[in-house]
Amino acid sequence: MNTTLLMPQQSQNHPTDASIQQSVSKVVDDLITSLPNRNQLTSEERRGIIARYTAVLEGNFIYWMTATLLSVQAEDARPILLDNLHEEVRDAHPAMLRRFAIAAHAFPTDSDALAVDEELTKVRLFLGRLSGVQSLATMAFFEGFIQRFMTYLADLAATQGSVEMEYTDVHGVCDIAHTEGLFRALSTELAIKPLDPAQDLLEGVYLLRALVEKIVFNGADTLSV
């Protein structure tokens, strides 16, 4: 799997909104293309993907978004993040995800949590640096990936015998608007606090991509769809 993706050369020092979205979308496209062929996965492999995903998202997504909120300085960016957090808390998305995992017989074990621990810790520490632009790019990437990943995740759960699809149904729709909002927030933040040219705007995207790859592959090479 490719682990290096650079923004277009002409945009590295002064990236435009279009170049950033293009680069982030490329990471999402590559991840979706690389997903294992669901018809060739064993029951335990399907369970593992759902369980590792749940181990990461249930207790961390709200933390990630809160860290991003704390990091931004643009006032216009804050309502976008607050709306996202409000929806997560109001509708109890972690509980929604837990029901999804339990119904798919994929509630995380300690082994599932430990499998993603190293990559998850790197993402936590990165967001703890509170770099507004980098954090917004990271979360825009993740929301964009999740929205497209939901159909695949739902198919895995259905093959496991589950009919509990509220989590995947909700996130397959709401994350479209969330992604667009985060890119707007990123544009606003860039305008008032540009990133130091020595820093990689997509550093967090790469770290989160590595975490997603660990969730999906757990170190194994599997045939793509």
Whole-Å CA distances, 67 to 77, 129, 136, 179 = 13, 9, 10, 17
In a domain, 140, yes or no: yes
In a domain, 134, yes or no: yes
In a domain, 22, yes or no: no
Tokens 């640096």: give the residue: 129
Q: What is the structure's pLDDT at 5?
A: 46
pTM, two decimal places: 0.89
Say whether pLDDT at 171 is over 50: yes
In a domain, 6, yes or no: no
Q: What is the structure's pLDDT at 162?
A: 97
In a domain, 29, yes or no: no
The range of the structural domain enclosing residue 48 comes to 43-217
In a domain, 148, yes or no: yes
In a domain, 17, yes or no: no
Q: Which range in 10-14, 118-122, 180-184, 198-202 is most confidently predicted, on average pLDDT?
A: 118-122
Encode pLDDT of 151-168 as tens digits: 999 999 999 999 999 999
- Average model confidence (pLDDT) for the chain? 90
Q: What is the structure's pLDDT at 3?
A: 43
Q: What is the structure's pLDDT at 177?
A: 79
Say whether pLDDT at 49 is over 90: yes
Q: How far is CA 181 from the centre of its chain?
A: 15
| Cβ neighbours of residue 136 closer than 8 Å, sequence gap 6 or more | 68, 71, 72, 77, 182, 185, 186, 189
CATH number at residue 150: 1.20.910.10
Domains of the chain: total: 1
Encode pLDDT of 99-122 as tens digits: 999 999 999 999 999 999 999 999
In a domain, 21, yes or no: no
Encode pLDDT of 60-75 as tens digits: 999 999 999 999 999 9
